[in-house]
Amino acid sequence: MPELDRAAYVTLDSTYNGLKSIMEEVEGAKEDNINKYNSALDAGECVRALGMRALAVRTESGRNCTGCMAETASVRRCEVGFGNA
């Protein structure tokens, strides 16, 4: 085997091993990354629900608002779900 080919092979071998290690690391973190992304999405839903609740409280203050109660339940579900993430 010519020296130039042997040197190229040695370089490619170390590159291949590095890429293989990175792929294994990424694959191992896949579930954690999915869970983090889902938590971020859930947090966004909670922010929207909280904003809707705040708007309902401002516009319906002093009145019995069944919609406000539904939004309160939604916010509570988000808080419980987000706290467990």
Task: Indicate the range of 1-5, 21-25, 41-45, 67-71 predicted with least confidence.
Answer: 67-71
What's the whole-number mean pLDDT along residues 18-44? 88
CA distances from 79 to 39, 46, 47 (A): 11, 7, 10
Domain ranges of the chain: 3-84
What pLDDT is stored for residue 62 in this prediction? 61
CA distances from 68 to 46, 47, 64 (A): 15, 15, 8
Instruction: Please list, in sequence order, all residues whose beta carbon lies within 8 angstroms of the beta carbon of residue 85, skipping any fewer than 6 positions away.
Output: 35, 38, 39, 42, 43
What pLDDT is stored for residue 45 in this prediction? 73
Distance CA 78, CA 31 (A): 21
**Full-prediction pTM beyond 0.75?**
no
Asked if 50 contacts 75 with a C-beta cutoff of 8 angstroms, the reply is yes
The pLDDT tens digits of the residues spanning 1-29 come to 788 888 888 888 888 999 999 999 999 99
What pLDDT is stored for residue 26 in this prediction? 92
